A = this chain, B = another copy of it.
């Protein structure tokens, strides 16, 4: 359709500017030179998302920054190159300049000059599953597309070559909202293969951020007694934007993969709004708490276990709260893979006006477990009690988490809680709802009956409950 086509070419531009662009035969994505009374700017014409003032033209400069130029100041526009920026990504030749393995594990000596062969660097596998970290802006549509391969990603972060020799592997190319429990199985099995190979000091999984924490929980249960660390990493801004967090997050993941003395499943992302600290979270205790900030991921009820500044790894963990296993590079004897998940788990987030009949629906639809995201310490209206009782009598497991997000379920404090306990609702301590859903799917798939699944849900397997709450 021509109107759609027009929108693509000059999205967000209207009125006189649109007319000028047409006259100059310039479209979004074109490399243009704009001359004003005082200055001259060269860059790519980009779309306008929020067209509050139509008398501006916006170009992305080579530095990556955007500049808005007022119409009345424009003297001329020239199209200089036809290609959009995304085709200009250059994959640098592999750096042969790199430091020796042992140096990396020691504090860096600045005057160090003895560079050695890349083969001596610790090897890390990078499994790419898609998401923003592996994507770039399409300046024609203004949107972000999954596009970079793991290899390209590595190439776009050449600093990695200083620390590690990365083995890239493209497993999936999906934004994470499209990943489901079958993908968790796929990812877990691919990680397991690489762990068993004994070739790697750590495994990095790059992943879309939307459900990164769900996958982190899934791998935490699926991969037990890991001999090495497995680190999930994502980005909130695509790799080709100047504000991208992809590069630092990935370097943080690599530093942790190489230096951590602990094994297990972790998530490395920006720790705060500044661009110099990476936080490392436990796979079952992390949540995406902001739609767009680079420091969207937060540890819940515990501190991040480590902070990475530059190439320095500082453990933050209070050991008493958390059980971590020591890294054991040489052995994967006790490593266990249980990578099945049973989708028959339903989440019901309670709210005033919630229709108890939804619980009926869960019963007749063949769900095996119901996670109630209740209010406060683990409550739900007494209007729902009889339906919950029916669910339990129908051999459904009914678990309680809290929509408060922080804090522990406490169902002995109020009548509501005690009544629900009497009916047979199982409180899940301070397990995050998202982790509880994943664990229930895993427990059902990896136990002979609902009774043993119920027992598994109450055991602390991968720090999904913490003994002490610290903030």
Interface residues of A (CB under 8 A from B): 49, 142-145, 175-181, 183-184, 209-211, 214-215, 288-293, 296, 341, 343, 345-347, 349-355, 357-358, 361, 365, 373-383, 402-410, 412-416, 418, 434, 437-438, 441
Contact = CB atoms under 8 A, between A and B. Distances in A.
Contacts of A375: 176-177, 210-211, 288
A143 B414 CA distance: 6
B180 A409 contact: no
Nearest to A377: B291
A344 to B, nearest CB: 9
Given A177-B380, A180-B383, A289-B404, A365 B357 contact: yes
A353 B349 contact: no
B408 A291 contact: yes
Given A289-B404, A289-B405, A381-B177, A355 B351 contact: no
Contacts of A410: 291-292
A415 B441 CA distance: 29
Contact of A290 (B343, B379, B407): B407
Contacts of A365: 355, 357, 361
A61 to B, nearest CB: 21
Nearest to A401: B291
A205 to B, nearest CB: 15
A409 B291 CA distance: 7
Contacts of A403: 288
Given A347-B349, A351-B347, A379 B292 contact: no
Nearest to A354: B347
Given A143-B418, A210-B375, A292-B410, 13 more contacts: A177-B374, A177-B416, A179-B352, A180-B381, A209-B376, A214-B352, A288-B403, A288-B404, A290-B406, A291-B378, A291-B406, A293-B406, A352-B438
Contacts of A211: 351-352, 375
A353 B345 contact: yes
A215 B352 CA distance: 9
Contacts of A183: 352
Contact of A352 (B180, B357, B383): B180
Contacts of A409: 291
Contacts of A184: 352
A354 to B, nearest CB: 8
Nearest to A218: B352
A19 to B, nearest CB: 24
Given A353-B441, A407-B290, A49 B178 contact: no
B181 A353 contact: yes
B177 A142 contact: no
Contacts of A345: 353
Contacts of A175: 379, 414-416
A416 B131 CA distance: 12
Contacts of A374: 177
A215 B288 CA distance: 26
A82 to B, nearest CB: 25
Contacts of A379: 175, 177, 210
Given A184-B352, A352-B211, A410-B291, A405 B404 contact: no
Contact of A353 (B290, B358, B418, B437): B437
Nearest to A182: B353
A143 B413 contact: yes
A404 B290 contact: yes
A396 B355 CA distance: 17
Nearest to A430: B291
Nearest to A214: B352
By Cβ-Cβ distance, the 6 closest A-B pairs, closest first, are A291-B407, A210-B375, A177-B379, A210-B376, A290-B407, A290-B406
A181 B288 contact: no
Given A211-B352, A352-B214, A441-B353, A415 B145 contact: yes
A72 to B, nearest CB: 28
A246 to B, nearest CB: 15
Contact of A343 (B347, B355, B407, B416): B355
A343 B142 CA distance: 39
Contacts of A408: 291-292
Nearest to A406: B290
